[in-house]
């Protein structure tokens, strides 16, 4: 009788991503950039996807400087044609797709009574519909191979209503990402494709740092920190371990999970 503990790979090797092909949308900055570095440092080949090609190319250059195999590509995740082209390019270049991070997203603070239908549609198109379209295209490569890891970027805003800013469309879109993740996980698990999501709390990206310079947002940030038990915002590096874990063999029996990384914000 085999002993699963003794027969398993040593623990550090289970987190390695050597010979794995990954794509990350929204990887030209912020959280997506941090994910790209984390996967590359763990041995993955990384396709850096962003609407801003120059930003994607800059990140790909950072990765290749670390010795990683990486390339940049522009894609609009609201375009089915761009998504299909993105997935096909990765599969053609490296012979398959093992890991996909659907991270691209946008935000909007708006009082609901003032929100236009176009604003609502834009948030839902980018944050939810595009995640489905990406998952669908990625699964069409992964399912025939019998293995794959899809990780969607949700938010703690998908589980709670944040204060004090009003962001009904964003909250709704991220709640949709969480339930979409669970639905796809249940559907595709028998065929070897795991689908999970990461829900960050308030994270100090360059975009957030720029926003906080305004007095109004500085007041918001004071509320965010006061409601966070750990007393600080996340750094993008606080999310990297989860990215590697969900991409690796260490999480092979995990699917349909929403991994919240919020410094305890949602505990109250």
Q: Would you say 40 and 68 are in contact if contact means Cβ atoms under 8 Å apart?
A: yes
Backbone angles phi, psi at 6, to 5 degrees: -75, -30
Give the pairing of strands 148-153 and 258-261.
unpaired
170 is catalytic: yes
Buried b (16+ CB within 10 A) or exposed e, 235-262: ebebbbebbbbbbbebbeeebbbbbbbb
Cα–Cα distance, 171 to 108 (Å, whole number): 10
193 and 143 Cβ atoms separated by less than 8 Å: yes
What is d(CA 104, CA 119) in angstroms, rounded to the nearest whole number? Answer: 17
Helix (H, G, I), strand (E, B) or coil at 48: strand
| H or E stretch covering 144 | helix 130-145
- End-to-end Cα separation, the chain, in angstroms: 47
The helix/strand/coil state of 53 is helix
φ, ψ (nearest 5 deg) of residue 66: -90, 0
CB-side neighbour CA atoms (13 Å) of 66? 19
Please state, as a whole number, how many other Cβ atoms lie within 10 Å of the Cβ of residue 120.
17
Question: Annotated catalytic sites, by residue?
Answer: 170
């Amino acid at each position: 009788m085999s002993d699963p503990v003794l027969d398993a790979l040593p623990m550090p090797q289970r987190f390695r991503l050597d010979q794995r092909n990954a794509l990350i949308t929204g990887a030209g900055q912020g959280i997506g950039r941090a994910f790209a570095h984390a996967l590359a440092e763990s041995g993955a080949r990384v396709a850096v996807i962003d609407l801003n090609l120059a930003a994607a190319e800059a990140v790909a250059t950072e990765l290749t400087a670390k010795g990683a195999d990486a390339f940049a590509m522009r894609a609009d995740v609201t375009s089915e044609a761009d998504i299909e082209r993105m997935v096909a390019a990765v599969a053609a270049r490296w012979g398959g797709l093992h890991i996909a991070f659907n991270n691209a997203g946008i935000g909007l603070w708006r009082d609901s009574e003032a929100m236009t239908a176009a604003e609502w549609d834009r948030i839902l198109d980018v944050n939810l519909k595009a995640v489905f379209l990406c998952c669908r295209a990625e699964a069409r490569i992964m399912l025939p191979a019998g293995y794959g890891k899809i990780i969607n970027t949700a938010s703690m805003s998908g589980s709670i209503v944040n204060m004090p800013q009003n962001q009904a469309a964003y909250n709704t879109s991220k709640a949709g990402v969480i339930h979409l993740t669970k639905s796809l996980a249940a559907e595709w698990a028998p065929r070897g494709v795991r689908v999970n999501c990461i829900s960050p709390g308030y994270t100090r990206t360059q975009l957030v740092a720029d926003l906080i310079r305004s007095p109004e947002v500085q007041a918001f940030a004071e509320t965010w920190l006061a409601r966070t038990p750990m007393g600080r915002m996340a750094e993008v590096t606080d999310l990297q371990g989860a990215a590697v874990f969900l991409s690796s063999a260490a999480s092979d029996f995990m699917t349909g999970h929403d991994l919240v990384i919020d410094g305890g914000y949602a505990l109250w």
